[in-house]
Structure 1
Amino acid sequence: MKPYFFAKGNVFFRGVVLGLFLTLAPNVGFFFSLPLLSASPVCMGTACRAHAFKKLRDPFQKPSLLNDAEDASLGLSLRLNRLEGGKFVVPFQNGLKTVYTLNPSLQFGMKDYFKKNKVPYGVFVAMDPHSGKILALVEHSSKEPRAKHLALRATYPAASIFKLITASAAIEERQVGPETLIENPHRFRSARTTLADAFAASNNNAFAEVALHYLNIKTLIGYATRFQFNQKIPFELPIQVSQIKTEDSRIGLANLAAGFGDVGLSPLHAALIGSAIANNGAMMTPCLIERVVAASGKAIFECKPKVFATAISAQTAAQLRVMMGLTVTKGTAHKAFKSAWKEPALRAIAIGGKTGSLAGDNPPGKVTWFVGMAPLDDPEVVISALIINSGSKGWKVKASNVAKEGFRAYFDSKAKGAFALARKG
């Protein structure tokens, strides 16, 4: 058995990897590996934390962590299908019990939505922007049913989601605002547009002009770094780094700013970007484990809110939220959300977001994104949705449709007081 270290604040508990590689049931919609352990304090400080993270297996080295576990004779696969108090709970040896942050109603509902619509590849992430708790982590592929870790991979083009970074940099650095007029080349109707309208319409030409007029490549990449591109993100599971590759030229700057750069993004990272904007610029450490409880009933670990990065100021975040609202009311997400008022759960909820679309190659297909939040005046949930269509028959749903359904499911669950779900069948 290999030693493993588990963090509780500054104190690290030593245990052994028990082979508890957890597998969420297929209809729950996510597969992951996580070791649980018994407790005896051995060390303190950042050195042990670094050692602990090194012990996490990298899910991108092999197709299946479960196969990894079986190859290493580490033992058993468990299905996350037990509910206590409206939470997923997994009991372990020595009386330990792990409680997860996931909202079962949202998790099951979005998995069913993906299956019903037979999406080639789909990912849905929901999180609380103030605590960092993951409320849903759903992935599905009708084209490649055994595909794993779709939510953690950064092999998808960021596309126009990167316009969030461009707008952040322009507002924060040069005091540009939503009503600032931007040159709008190659448009017959108007030679200028406001930043807000360019954002809502995801106007590529205007965003290239924003970068060329107000920014440089160093500044833009600096803000991308603040939003954790090219950085490792702390999480219970390894998240593939979202990488930026670009050239220091006017063309490189314009392409990057407009969302055409060589930029990878994972759905979980996309949710964190949205969460920073929802949380006045502060990015919280994401967590999937809410607490670990000993046989005595005492919590030996709890997920506590912790800021791990400050991307932008609260003032910049507020202006971004205004523009994200326009994306939904009159911009690129308007078609998907225009009937939201018919949904009782969404009738009084203001929603904001940013869309993106671009061809990708891993997996190959047309990628659509939606990153958004609600309620817009005081966000309590952030959603990241990704759809990849690899066929030639057109779209059944796009990421904006997925996001709308996700918001509906979340607020419907809240209205019913349901963070618990009696599983069907």
Structure 2
Amino acid sequence: MRQGVAIFAAAAIVAASLPVLREHDESLVALLSKAKIAVTGTKPEKKEDKLDPPALAELDLANIDDRRDVITAPAHGKRTAELTLDPVYQRAATSILRRGEIHEGAVVMTDVQTGRVLAWSSFNRGRARDIAAEATYPTASVMKVVTGAALVEAGVPLNQEFCYYGGKSGIEERDLTPDEGRDKYCATLGRAMGRSLNVIFARLADQKLDQQKLGSAAKRLGFGFEIPFDAPIAPSMVELPDERLEFARTAAGFWHTTLSPFQATNVALTVANKGVMIRSRIVDRVLDEEGQVIWEAPKEREELKRVLDEKTAWSLARMMEQTVLGGTSFQTFHDRAGRPFIPDVPIAGKTGTLSNKKNGDLITWWVGFAPSDKPEVALSALVVNRGPWRIKGTHVASDMLRIYFADRGRAGVSYPPGFRGEKRRGKEPEAAGDKTASR
């Protein structure tokens, strides 16, 4: 009988849950559960230690000002935080979300090598909220990335085929047991990731994993902890039910989990960095009300901890490539003739979709990085639609990556409809109209 495991951020519960981790995970738990953690590279300027309150106190990322080349956000009192955000990508993300007529959503894009956040955009109706920092919505099939890591660690090979039947919209008890009479379709673990095949992930989790193994992978990837960042981030949550069917459903991405857009990008960032979790930063420096610099961020890349071995991270990247090559994101990353919008750039991604029958929300995610062989950017896009929809998370991700690579001058990549590029001296991306084509 599996023992129920719930992953929470509170230090006391973290301490109580340590026995479910393997020995080499304990250092990460200790690392992430501290208010201030040790990192490699340069430490923050000592000026911060003398400030009361600290330099980054009350950083308000719900009210980002992107009207100038240097994007800013208000902080405590009359302080101003100058952000790492790139004006081209920040304005593009905001424009895509607004024109998509969504209920709410967010985009977080981060430089893989430095951890500098390039886009941090939230959209909702009503009073502005920092949705990118909220862990409100279910992880959905993005959970398959966590489960995939645990399965690789459990020795499941990438090239072995597993047969299945059903599971498109749910998992039942009978789906967990192989049945030669019913299981007429077969796929490798990579294709199962790309096509988000629920039965394969649920069945393999039931056969190969337990709460200790799956919980360990989730914790090492940051679920349940306040990951170090310049602003408070709600911890993403994973609860692993005791009951067999619900455990398998959770492993496949059906409820019992939540995810913030920040944490989604952090998972992609970790896989892109070959299993090393690095610190993301969104603040370059903080100015007082007189415009004097009172704090500056370290310039060097800061590595927090290796959380996956390099082989596991490599395997995840290969599995996630299938999402764009022939899986759930194929249509949004290719034209009607099957030609890629971003040619000669391999892309690793994972979609997630869940419907909330109580309020009618359609929750969609895209999480990934590109190029998958030499990563430059990690990206997450959350889109919540209520009623008829125009775009999903995968559309937002496709457009953002097209803008990124077109802006970088990548051969064969053009801007998506509605964008003609932006001069880097403060001009907003020009839209070809207020409406986007229904997709």
Which of 375, 378, 391 is residue 374 of structure 2 equivalent to? 378
- Counterpart CA distance in 2 for 1:118 and 1:90 is 25
Output the amino acid matched with 2:400. Answer: G
Question: Is residue 280–residue 313 contact of structure 1 (8 Å, CA) maintained in 2?
Answer: yes
Q: Residues 267, 299 of structure 1: CA spacing in aligned structure 2 closer, same or farther, 3 A cutoff?
A: closer
Question: Shift of the alpha carbon at 1:285?
Answer: 1.1
With normalisation by structure 1, the TM-score equals 0.75
Q: Which runs of 5+ in 2 are unaligned?
A: 1-35, 37-41, 168-181, 410-420, 431-439
Question: Is residue 360–residue 386 contact of structure 2 (8 Å, CA) maintained in 1?
Answer: yes
What corresponds to 2:24 in structure 1?
Answer: none
| SS, match of residue 274 in structure 1 | helix
Q: For structure 1, which segment, 252-261 or 186-195, has the greater mean C-alpha deviation from structure 2 after superposition?
A: 186-195
Structure with greater strand percent: 1
Question: Shift of the alpha carbon at 1:420?
Answer: 4.9
| SS, match of residue 256 in structure 1 | helix
- Counterpart CA distance in 2 for 1:249 and 1:92 is 46
- Superposition map of 1:21-420 within 5 A: 30-31=62-63, 79-83=65-69, 87-88=70-71, 98-141=81-124, 144-174=125-155, 176-186=156-166, 190=184, 192-292=186-286, 300-339=296-335, 341=339, 343=341, 346-360=342-356, 365-391=361-387, 393=388, 395-415=389-409, 420=425
Question: Is residue 265–residue 378 contact of structure 2 (8 Å, CA) maintained in 1?
Answer: yes
- Counterpart CA distance in 2 for 1:150 and 1:402 is 16
* 1:157-187 Cα distance to aligned partner (Å, 9 max, x none): 001000001110110232x232122242448
Q: Does 1:9 align with 2:44?
A: yes
* 1:47-81 Cα distance to aligned partner (Å, 9 max, x none): xxxxxxxxxxxxxxxxxxxxxxxxxxxxxxxx453
Output the amino acid matched with 1:82. Answer: R
- Counterpart CA distance in 1 for 2:75 and 2:381 is 33
- Counterpart CA distance in 2 for 1:92 and 1:218 is 41
Question: Shift of the alpha carbon at 1:418?
Answer: 6.1
With normalisation by structure 2, the TM-score equals 0.73
Question: Shift of the alpha carbon at 1:329?
Answer: 1.2
Q: Residues 88, 168 of structure 1: CA spacing in aligned structure 2 closer, same or farther, 3 A cutoff?
A: same
Question: Shift of the alpha carbon at 1:210?
Answer: 1.2
- Counterpart CA distance in 1 for 2:57 and 2:224 is 31
Question: Shift of the alpha carbon at 1:311?
Answer: 2.5
Output the amino acid matched with 1:273. Answer: V
Question: Is residue 233–residue 239 contact of structure 1 (8 Å, CA) maintained in 2?
Answer: yes
Question: Shift of the alpha carbon at 1:280?
Answer: 0.2
| SS, match of residue 151 in structure 1 | helix
Q: For structure 1, which segment, 213-222 or 191-200, has the greater mean C-alpha deviation from structure 2 after superposition?
A: 191-200
What corresponds to 1:43 in structure 2?
Answer: none
Output the amino acid matched with 1:172. Answer: E
Q: For structure 1, which segment, 183-192 or 395-404, has the greater mean C-alpha deviation from structure 2 after superposition?
A: 183-192
| SS, match of residue 381 in structure 2 | strand
Question: Shift of the alpha carbon at 1:10?
Answer: 7.8
- RMSD of aligned alpha carbons: 3.3
Q: Which runs of 5+ in 1 are unaligned?
A: 25-29, 33-78
Question: Shift of the alpha carbon at 1:287?
Answer: 0.7
- Counterpart CA distance in 1 for 2:357 and 2:227 is 24
Q: Residues 298, 390 of structure 1: CA spacing in aligned structure 2 closer, same or farther, 3 A cutoff?
A: closer
| SS, match of residue 9 in structure 1 | coil
Question: Shift of the alpha carbon at 1:130?
Answer: 2.3
Question: Is residue 56–residue 75 contact of structure 2 (8 Å, CA) maintained in 1?
Answer: no
Alignment length (residue pairs): 358
